[in-house]
Structure 1
Amino acid sequence: MVSARVDHADVIVVGLGPGGEDAAGRLAEAGLDVVGIDERLVGGECPYWGCIPSKIMVRSADLLAEGRRITGHAGTAMVHPDWRLAARAVREATADWDDKIAVDRLTGRGTRFVRGTGRLTAPDQVTVADADGNETEIRARRAIVLAVGSEPAVPPIPGLAGTPFWTNHEAIEAAEVPRSLLVIGGGAIGLELGQAFNRFGTAVTIVEGMPRLLPGEEPEAHELLLRVLTEDGLDVHTSALVGSVAYRDGVGFTTNCERGERLTAERLLVATGRRTDLARLGAVAIDVDPDLRALPVDDRLRVVPPVGGRPGVWALGDATGKGAFTHMSMYQAEIVVRGILGQGGAVASYHAVPRVTFTDPEVGAVGLTEAQARGKGLAVRTGYADLASSSRGYVHRVGNEGFIKVVADETSGTLVGATAAGPYGGEILGALAVAVHGRVPLEVLREQIWAYPTFHRAIGDALRGLGTT
């Protein structure tokens, strides 16, 4: 039997991933009565199935690769992978998928926590259903913050539903490595996990429907990763649309691609992006089309501005469609908190969003790709530098493949995008991200002194590749 009760709060935060948790905690510390709602683990995707455990897997796999590079360069070595050690490290980092520490951290900052599924039922109200079906109607006096995150997007491939396919959750929680793994999706998640499992001994096949791996990044990143992954033994198929999936217990998965490939594996990982279910959230209660891909927000992250004493509705994180990154949710949380507290400050800006794919080599990028810049009608020049050539001080280093590519707008004389692919690509990206974010003039960047011998000095070579006007 469903029972209902009514509660009130100054602020209701639905979704307690990194950004939602931070916003709830800061608002509570500011003296507001805050209720935080989540049906899953407090802390969200990042600490349990995303950023942190996946990078433990990636780092462990990278150690194996480095060990295998010793022979012929620094001595001899025999590497024997042991997945149990990596799996144990993941379990320890996630507290075996227990969020007690996170809940205590949240409530310790003054937030009231409600475990359950929250949905909008009025412009100022969220109804929460717990595991037993009991409902609580919570009415906001000042604000509602929607930080519901996203979930794996599973494509409607015939035969897929009902099979024991993996998403990133099952892959991260795996106690053993499969003999073989078929990955549908050649984006960041599919490539990171696919390469990691391969280095632990799994035969991995990547199937990507678009013509390129990392289709949202520069084509040079695809070319680099395709070469490296293939050399490492992964079987990579691009422009390959999966037409059907079949599963037999004890045998595994069989996929049939529309152009004729028939691929088999013990396990199947679906890594085809993420989605936010606005219908389940009850977006219609605030006059938002539930079929939209993301919540429409203004430059202060408001979905519904506060009017005439009525509470406003803000959104942050994946649900805003501005990038499914932890750093994006934290950036947006800052703006949301200032907005609710009436502190003003800078509005949201997305011209210099950084992103990193933690493959080996890493692919770090910021701002616009060349194609995106041209698509916006910008007068574009590009510069390119090969890492191995630019970093001559590392001629004896193994695994120094990569490049720097910069995209400049001739009209403004600044960089509007850049990619750093190679060893420490995500770290090299820092200098490029500052340049794009700060709209640093090209003539100033060209005056920069780049330390030698480093990989980041290739930025200088790429800038020289732009030429002068």
Structure 2
Amino acid sequence: MAATGAESGEAVAESGGYEYDVVVVGGGPAGENVAGRVAAGGLSVALVERERVGGECSFWACMPSKALLRSGHAVTAARRVDGARQAVTGDIDVSGTLRRRDSFVDQWDDRRQVDWVHDAGVALFRGSAWLAGSREVMVRDPDGTTFSLYAGNAVVLATGSVPVRPPIPGLDQVDFWDSRAATSAERAPESLAVLGAGVVGVELAQAWARLGTHVRMIESGPRPLPSAPDFAGDLLEAALRADGVRLYSDAVVNGVSSTEGSVTLELADGTEVSAERLLVATGRRAATGHLGLESVGLHEEGAVDVNEHGEVRGVPGGWLYAAGDVTGQAQLTHQAKYAARVVADVVVARATGRHVTTDAFGRYMTSANRHAVPTVIFTDPAVAQIGYSPERAEQDGHRVRTIELDMASAGAELRADGYRGRARFVIDERHQVLLGAVFVGQDVAELLHAATIAIVGEVPLARLWHAVPAFPTLSEVWLRLLESYGL
């Protein structure tokens, strides 16, 4: 039960456990960042992880899904440029794509992340963990041994999220893919039915379609990406259809059944959709089950509610914190890392006697986690967005002006013949600052950080006029924005 790779905490003889300044539950991006930053601040830290250090993003989500998408994107990009398309004479090498994906996840071996944890001076415990009362974490290791970790200063929950399984009759009787199975598959299935048209659904539908799989997508609304602007969903729908994906819109699934080698979805209109594999991609929820939250007076179900410092509300004493997906905030690796850095800084400050005020983090953390969350959907076209929609901005009392533009510029035209893309900007008319931005098109992800800086920094549009975009690049869309605004 001893820690590996770092000095163990102080032994607590009467209980057979160990005491550390901080105990972090969950070794994904949030947990790693909390642990490393707290250790750098001079505190002793224990990190508990039941699966792979690095978490969902490293092994089953961000990295493998983007690796699966990249081969198809590269070939398609070449085919959009006269002179290059003539050189594309064959199909995508599926086995090569899968080998490249495997390299990004280190063949699902977490030794590199473990080495990083050790080098950071963090004690790593393998096992499942749960709260057993104030500042106490119980751990059951892979051998079944149970022991305690005591936190002198803080416990941080960073257990991430898990897929939602919709209550569809027959679903629990069939063998279906979740996102993990879809990103780690060893071969391309002949056919794939995708249930859900959110981020996971559209990315994996396009990835496998471009690797030669016949894909059917079942969506509950009129277009993909219901949380994005309609024009984004429309452009992506056209691209998915061009890739051979068959879409079933406004669909209701009444039941699921299977025969040998096939899964069938029965739709409310009588249509049957069959495929070799079924991917269920209907969202994720905070992973709070079996965390022992009731031992500290919290409900076991639902996300953990935190304040602007990441401190869990409803638990007296200021010792319990949470960061990442488990808080129910934006389910994004970069946001989890941001929240982790805030939590770590607050924990270290309080442990070393420094006063922490809401001024230090409150305003900007609230904005960053609610109104300034940058999101990229890595399809082709990509969808990059941040900030307010026009409707939400008006609800919050802003006087709004919305400007929509085609992504038409020399930079776009050079990038691809017949480049298709669109942008939308939401502007606060009182203060003449940007509140939100959406970019849709090939390679628009790299435009997003400029919008993030403009929104978080509340940069006046008149000042942005002097931030001259380089020619010829996609960034010329910023010039089009300012011209359309009348500056």
Structure-2-length-normalised TM-score: 0.89
Aligned to 1:356: 376
Q: Measure the CA separation in 2 of the matches of 1:5 and 1:158.
A: 47
Q: Provide the secondary structure at the position in 2 that maps to 1:462.
A: helix
Aligned to 1:386: 406
Q: Measure the CA separation in 2 of the matches of 1:277 and 1:26.
A: 23
Q: CA deviation at 1:287?
A: 2.1
Q: Give the residue type in structure 1 aligned to 2:266.
A: N
Q: Give CA-to-partner distance per residue, 1:98-140, whole Å, 9 cap, x none.
A: 1122112102211111111111121211111123332112121
Whether 2:340 is the aligned partner of 1:333: answer: yes
Contact 2:64 2:184 in 1 (8 A): no
Contact 2:305 2:313 in 1 (8 A): no
Q: Measure the CA separation in 2 of the matches of 1:163 and 1:5.
A: 44
Which range is displaced more, 224-233 or 438-447?
438-447
> After superposition, where does 1:158-177 map in structure 2 within 5 Å?
158-177=169-188
Q: Measure the CA separation in 1 of the matches of 2:213 and 2:67.
A: 17
Q: Measure the CA separation in 2 of the matches of 1:396 and 1:129.
A: 54
> After superposition, where does 1:136-147 map in structure 2 within 5 Å?
136-147=147-158
Contact 1:382 1:465 in 2 (8 A): no
Structure 2 unaligned regions, length at least 5: 1-14
Q: Measure the CA separation in 2 of the matches of 1:173 and 1:241.
A: 28
Aligned to 1:27: 38
Which range is displaced more, 454-463 or 138-147?
454-463
Contact 1:18 1:44 in 2 (8 A): yes
Q: Give the residue type in structure 2 aligned to 1:435.
A: A
Aligned pair in 2 of structure 1 residues 223, 96: CA closer, same or farther (>3 Å)? same
Whether 2:452 is the aligned partner of 1:428: answer: no
Whether 2:282 is the aligned partner of 1:277: answer: no
Q: Give CA-to-partner distance per residue, 1:248-281, whole Å, 9 cap, x none.
A: 122x111012233321111111111111232321
Q: Measure the CA separation in 1 of the matches of 2:331 and 2:412.
A: 37
Q: Between the two proteins, what is the percent identity of the paired residues?
A: 36
Q: CA deviation at 1:450?
A: 2.6
Q: Measure the CA separation in 1 of the matches of 2:19 and 2:383.
A: 46
Q: Give the residue type in structure 1 aligned to 2:336.
A: S
Q: Give CA-to-partner distance per residue, 1:172-210, whole Å, 9 cap, x none.
A: 111110111111111111111110111111111111213
> After superposition, where does 1:94-133 map in structure 2 within 5 Å?
94-133=105-144
Aligned pair in 2 of structure 1 residues 399, 88: CA closer, same or farther (>3 Å)? farther
Q: Measure the CA separation in 1 of the matches of 2:411 and 2:374.
A: 27
Aligned to 1:413: 432
Contact 2:64 2:183 in 1 (8 A): yes
Aligned to 1:44: 55
Aligned pair in 2 of structure 1 residues 393, 422: CA closer, same or farther (>3 Å)? closer
2:310 to 278, 289, 301: 301
Q: CA deviation at 1:68?
A: 4.0
Contact 1:384 1:461 in 2 (8 A): no
Q: Give CA-to-partner distance per residue, 1:131-155, whole Å, 9 cap, x none.
A: 3332112121100001101111121
Whether 2:244 is the aligned partner of 1:204: answer: no
Aligned to 2:226: 215
Aligned to 1:236: 247
Q: Give CA-to-partner distance per residue, 1:349-376, whole Å, 9 cap, x none.
A: 3221100000011110011122322333
Contact 2:48 2:129 in 1 (8 A): yes
Q: Measure the CA separation in 1 of the matches of 2:153 and 2:188.
A: 49
2:472 to 453, 461, 466: 453
Q: Provide the secondary structure at the position in 2 that maps to 1:436.
A: helix
Structure-1-length-normalised TM-score: 0.92
1:346 to 361, 364, 387: 361
Aligned pair in 2 of structure 1 residues 374, 230: CA closer, same or farther (>3 Å)? farther
Q: Measure the CA separation in 1 of the matches of 2:19 and 2:321.
A: 18
Contact 2:29 2:55 in 1 (8 A): yes
Q: Measure the CA separation in 2 of the matches of 1:39 and 1:204.
A: 34
Q: Provide the secondary structure at the position in 2 that maps to 1:254.
A: strand
Aligned to 1:313: 320
Q: CA deviation at 1:167?
A: 1.1
1:185 to 182, 188, 196: 196
Q: Provide the secondary structure at the position in 1 that maps to 2:137.
A: strand
Q: Measure the CA separation in 1 of the matches of 2:242 and 2:426.
A: 29
Aligned to 1:268: 278
Contact 2:54 2:110 in 1 (8 A): yes
Contact 1:140 1:311 in 2 (8 A): no
Q: Measure the CA separation in 2 of the matches of 1:59 and 1:133.
A: 41
Aligned to 2:301: 291
Q: CA deviation at 1:341?
A: 1.0
Q: Measure the CA separation in 1 of the matches of 2:259 and 2:163.
A: 23
Contact 1:362 1:422 in 2 (8 A): yes
Q: Measure the CA separation in 2 of the matches of 1:234 and 1:466.
A: 38
Q: Give the residue type in structure 2 aligned to 1:379.
A: R
Aligned to 1:66: 77
Q: Give the residue type in structure 1 aligned to 2:469.
A: W
Aligned pair in 2 of structure 1 residues 357, 327: CA closer, same or farther (>3 Å)? same
Aligned pair in 2 of structure 1 residues 357, 391: CA closer, same or farther (>3 Å)? same
Which range is displaced more, 72-81 or 168-177?
72-81
Structure 1 unaligned regions, length at least 5: none
Q: Measure the CA separation in 2 of the matches of 1:319 and 1:15.
A: 10
Contact 1:118 1:129 in 2 (8 A): yes
Q: Measure the CA separation in 2 of the matches of 1:56 and 1:368.
A: 30
Contact 1:393 1:454 in 2 (8 A): yes
Q: Measure the CA separation in 2 of the matches of 1:326 and 1:379.
A: 32
Contact 2:80 2:416 in 1 (8 A): no
Contact 2:154 2:320 in 1 (8 A): yes
Which range is displaced more, 136-145 or 23-32?
23-32
Contact 1:380 1:407 in 2 (8 A): yes
Whether 2:263 is the aligned partner of 1:256: answer: no
Q: Measure the CA separation in 1 of the matches of 2:379 and 2:452.
A: 19
Aligned pair in 2 of structure 1 residues 463, 162: CA closer, same or farther (>3 Å)? farther
Q: Measure the CA separation in 1 of the matches of 2:177 and 2:197.
A: 15
